[in-house]
């Protein structure tokens, strides 16, 4: 089911807020594509995703050259998947860093005053989603039926998001 505008944004917000960790991909024109797991700090109502990142990281360097980026979200346990293409900018907003900083961030940074902290602001343009969480048990039965009979069954929704 392809979604546009309001419906697409609602589906996008639902999935990103539930999954919480994505694989950020930068330098999309090079192979292998640079990929790194990132935990979301916040998803804004307009769809912008905020991450913390070190200012000298490879992905920050890639974003300075080309802001085009992609995030892959995957939650096999709930049967939800999302790939989103967009643009990422680097921010040094100290007030926002202080607002978003938590103790878990001490694993990567000295403290909230650490000058190496930047905020990556990912703005989505479009994406694709696969969502079968609402009927996971039913899908298991359907997959079993297909395995036994060879007859395909409908196992959830998928589509393009135009944001």
Domains of the chain: 3-162 (2.30.110.10)
Output the tens digit of pLDDT for each of the chain's 163 residues.
666 678 878 888 999 999 989 999 999 999 999 999 999 999 999 999 999 999 999 999 999 999 999 999 998 888 889 999 999 999 999 999 999 999 999 999 999 999 999 999 999 999 998 877 555 544 444 444 445 556 554 545 566 767 6
Structure tokens at 133: 């969480």
Q: Quote the longest CA-to-CA distance of the chain.
A: 61
Could you say which DSSP state residue 108 is in? T
Give the C-alpha separation, 117 to 135, whole Å: 41
CA-based nearest residue to 24, from 75, 60, 77, 65: 60
Q: The whole model's pTM is what?
A: 0.82
């Amino acid at each position: 089911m392809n979604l546009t505008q309001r419906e697409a944004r609602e589906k996008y917000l639902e999935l990103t807020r539930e999954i919480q960790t994505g694989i950020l991909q930068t330098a999309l024109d090079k192979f292998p594509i640079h990929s790194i797991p990132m935990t979301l700090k916040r998803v804004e109502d307009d769809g912008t995703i905020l991450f913390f990142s070190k200012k000298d990281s490879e992905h920050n360097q890639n974003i300075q050259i080309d802001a085009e980026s992609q995030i892959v979200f995957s939650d096999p346990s709930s049967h939800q998947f999302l790939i989103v293409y967009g643009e990422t900018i680097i921010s040094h907003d100290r007030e926002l860093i202080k607002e978003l900083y938590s103790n878990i961030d001490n694993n990567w940074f000295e403290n909230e005053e650490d000058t190496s902290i930047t905020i990556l602001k990912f703005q989505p343009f479009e994406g694709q989603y696969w969502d079968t969480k609402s009927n996971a048990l039913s899908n298991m039965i359907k997959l079993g039926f297909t395995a036994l009979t060879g007859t395909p069954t409908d196992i959830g929704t998928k589509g393009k998001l135009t944001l």
